[in-house]
Structure formats: structure tokens, C-alpha cells
Amino acid sequence: MLLQLHEIFMGKVRGKTPVSRKTMKIIVDSIIEQIHAHYFKTKPNGHANIRATINSNLESFNEKEDKNVLRSLNAILRVYGSVFSKSYSDHDTDYEEFLKNELKAFSKALTEHTLFKDDVNAKKIRELWPHE
């Protein structure tokens, strides 16, 4: 997961075209599933249910870093429909904003978590935004 996120942001830094929306959707779906399973020990059951689970359980987490990861995941879920919907025809602006805002915030929250303190890819991602 962190390797994929690093590759996405390195591509953006180098001015390369970001991964396709279809590929990004696969990556984001995988992230959602992994984070949900880690925190709630169940398989996710729809984005609305995941958001409800996060919202109803957020305060039960004691660590600020856990809350930050879950809040940023919730932000991804909030815009997921407009970014990845097949019926919406003009995704370019939403997609770029998603990369710049929600995905970046999630990546920062995840790489600042103590679980990933010594992870090589987390360190590389943190180096992309040293003063933010």
C-alpha cells in the first residue's frame, strides 16, 4: 500500500500523468478494505456503512494517530462517489483535487502513524512534504 502511494506521489512530483482513475480506484478500494479490517476486524460492507462505522466508533480510539487515519479515510469515502463514479463524465478536476487533498492527507496520516515509523516507503513519502 505505501509503495503504491509513494509511486503515485513521485509521479506527480516528476510531472508524470497520475495513474488512471481505474487503477486508482483499485488502489483506493484496497486501502479502504485494509484499513477497515485493521481497525474493525471485519470486512467492509459498502461505503456508507464504513463511514457510519467510523463515525460511531471514532471516539473509542484513544490514540490521536488512529483518529487521524480514520478521519482521513472518512474524507476519502466522502468524495469517493464523485471521483470514481462511472456515470459522472467530467472527473478530471475531481480526480486532481482528490490526489492533492484527500489522498495526500490520508497518506500523511498513515505515514505519521507509529506502525509505519520505520517503513522505508513511509519515510520516502514523508520526505516529499518535509515542512507541511
- Cell 507509529 belongs to which residue? 114
Confidence (pLDDT) at 61: 97
Closest-CA residue to 128 (of 62, 112, 113): 112
Largest alpha-carbon pair distance within the chain?
Answer: 41
Q: What is the pLDDT of residues 23-33, one digit of tens each?
A: 889 999 999 99
Transcribe 12-73 into DSSP letters: HHTTPPPPPHHHHHHHHHHHHHHHHHHHHSS----HHHHHHHHHHHGGG---HHHHHHHHHH
Q: To which H or E segment does residue 106 belong?
A: helix 104-111
pLDDT for 29 equals: 94
pLDDT at 7: 83
Asked if residue 121 lies in contact with residue 5, where contact means CB atoms within 8 angstroms, the answer is yes
Residue type, 87: S
For residue 34, name the pLDDT band (cuts at 50, 70, 90): very high
Give residue 73's pLDDT. Answer: 98
* pLDDT per residue as tens digits for the range 66-93: 999 999 999 999 999 888 887 655 666 7
Q: What is the pLDDT of residue 30?
A: 93
pLDDT score recorded for residue 2 = 80
Q: What is the pTM of this model?
A: 0.87
